Amino acid sequence: MQTRFTRLVGVEHPVMQGGMMWVGTADMAAAVSNAGGLGTITALTQQTPDDLRREIDRCRSLTDKPFAVNLTILPSVKPPPYADYRRAIIDSGVSVVETAGSRPQEHVEDFKAHGVKVIHKCTSVRHAVSAQKMGVDAISIDGFECAGHPGEDDVPGLVLIPAAADRIDIPMLASGGFGDGRGLVAALALGADGINMGTRFCATVEAPIHEAVKRLLVENDERATNLIFRKFHNTGRVAKTSVSDKVVEISGREGAQFADIQPLVSGARGRVALETGDLEAGLIWAGQVQGLIRDIPTCRDLIDRIMRQADEITARLRERAA
């Protein structure tokens, strides 16, 4: 199935693995790319830019297919050396980058100057339009169903994707709530050129997270998420656990400050949860697509199944229209 996205990045299937903190390793990215999708290394999962260089080299030893690197730019008291990570990506000859977060122009301009294709993740039509004007090569549009940060507009994919497609001329991926062939066909019908999946790829054999976390994603349903940080205008969607329940409860108290929940939401604690399977250790970031996850396949089996389902659905639709 060829689309503008597959032609842009040189992959077989219109399926991308999104950048995920602690999950987007070389092994994960290579597994997706070897299955015909676009795998993604998450830059900031690596402690230093030199570590990122080594991880990119390791990915190349595991696949000869295209893969991307995610660089997410977020405001922080002690921001990481984004420019140094950007330089590591460019120097390593990576051909595709997924950018996300605020004020990416400096990074986009440098990537483009060095011939790197940029896919920018957005949560609203207005931000997608701005990114297109900035010169990115493709957009990944995140609906309210997504894991991570869905923005503050609360617009689900069924509206957001076609609304963005009406305004965007460059290739566009649909993100948030996708996990099977039905979603892929729906995304294409709504005007996207493929799908970008995060949570669904966490429940695969190759995902570098503990089996207990993968089982949580299988056992949860579409209702099993919490929206956190709403009070602080930085909404995040995570799996419903005792930790995220506590974050919601504390945040709802009169006069609550971010410092009151900070110990519970640290990235270090979330990493412990992913690596050890201790669901009490920290947050597990996950989207509403949990309600569509029934098993833990290999990345190849998952992508093959998505494409087979999509082919069957489109064939059935043609028969109905005949």
Q: Please state at what angle helix 157-165 crosses helix 181-190, rounded to 10 degrees.
A: 40
pLDDT of residue 194: 98
Q: What is the pLDDT of residues 210-254, one digit of tens each?
A: 999 999 999 999 999 999 999 999 999 999 999 999 999 999 999
What are the structure tokens assigned to 313, written together? 């659905």
Cβ neighbours, 10 Å, residue 166:
9
Q: What are the tens digits of pLDDT across the range 111-151?
A: 999 999 999 999 999 999 999 999 999 999 999 999 999 99
Average pLDDT, the chain: 97
The 10 Å Cβ neighbour count of residue 297 is: 16
Q: Which pLDDT does position 102 carry in this prediction? A: 84
pLDDT confidence of residue 74 = 85
Residue 178 has pLDDT above 80, yes or no: yes
pLDDT score for 37: 98
Name which CATH class applies to 4-206. Answer: alpha beta
Q: What is the mean pLDDT of residues 176-205?
A: 98
Average pLDDT over residues 153-178: 98
285 with 172: CB under 8 angstroms? no
φ, ψ of residue 81 in degrees (nearest 5): -75, 80
Among 26-30, 106-110, 187-191, 317-321, the minimum mean pLDDT is found in: 317-321
What's the pLDDT at 103?
85
Task: Work out the pLDDT band at 78, boundaries 50, 70, 90.
Answer: confident
Q: How many CB atoms lie within 10 A of CB 211?
A: 11
Calpha distance 78→63 (Å, rounded) = 34
Q: Is the pLDDT of residue 75 over 80?
A: no
Residue 321 has a pLDDT of 87
- Backbone torsion region of residue 319, taken as left when φ is above 0, otherwise alpha when ψ lies between -120 and 50, otherwise beta: alpha
pLDDT of residue 30: 98
> Could you identify the residue written with the tokens 């090569």?
137
For residue 315 the two structure tokens come to 């064939």
Sign of the alpha-carbon dihedral angle for 96, 75, 226, 161: negative
The domain segmentation of the chain, as residue ranges, is 4-206, 211-288
Q: Residue 76 has what pLDDT?
A: 74
Written as six digits, the tokens of 26 are 């070389």
* Overall average pLDDT of the 99-116 stretch: 95
DSSP code for 116: -
* pLDDT at 322 > cutoff 90: no
